[in-house]
Structure 1
Amino acid sequence: MSQRTRRGFVKTDEVLAKLEVGRRGAIQVSTEAKIASPEYRAAQSLTNAIDNLAEILTGDPSYFHLKPATSRQQGS
């Protein structure tokens, strides 16, 4: 008898950590490859796909984008 798979539960934190590594690699290729080369276009496509999946998992379309620094205001 075969065992049933447990689908429907995504380990979001684990997946996002792995996607972050892949996204950094794709960005590295984008910055090193000749603009408009096949490598550049594939890396851009991969970055967009990772961002789309992160948005689906988190609801945040800019999950991996750098966030502006915030400063705490001192009380009077």
Structure 2
Amino acid sequence: MEKLALGRDGAVQLSREAKIGSMEYRLAGYVMDAIDDLAEKLTGDRCHFHNKPATTAPREDRG
């Protein structure tokens, strides 16, 4: 799973840096979709590698 996470992170980075609609942008999207499909088959969760909201409780106001 770690290797898939690295691959997806690379595809996300490429899509951020590529011009929207370019071949690189589209291919990076295909890679992310393929990794998400595989994650769903392996874990049952298609969003396994998606960023999740922080789970740390907010700090108390010490004022």
The TM-score normalised by the length of structure 1 is 0.69
Return the alpha-carbon distance in structure 2 between the equivalents of residues 58 and 49 of structure 1: 14
Percent of matched pairs sharing the same residue: 58
**Separation (CA, whole Å) in 1 of partners of 2:41 and 2:55:** 26
The runs of 4+ residues in structure 1 deviating greater than 6 Å are none
1:32 equivalenced with 2:17 (yes/no)? yes
Q: CA deviation at 1:29?
A: 0.6
- Structure number with greater Rg is 1
1:1-76 pair list within 5 angstroms: 16-71=1-56
1:1-55 residue CA offsets vs partner (Å, 9 max, x unmatched): xxxxxxxxxxxxxxx1100010011011100011010000000010011011001
Structure 2, unaligned runs of 5 or more: 58-63
Aligned residues: 57
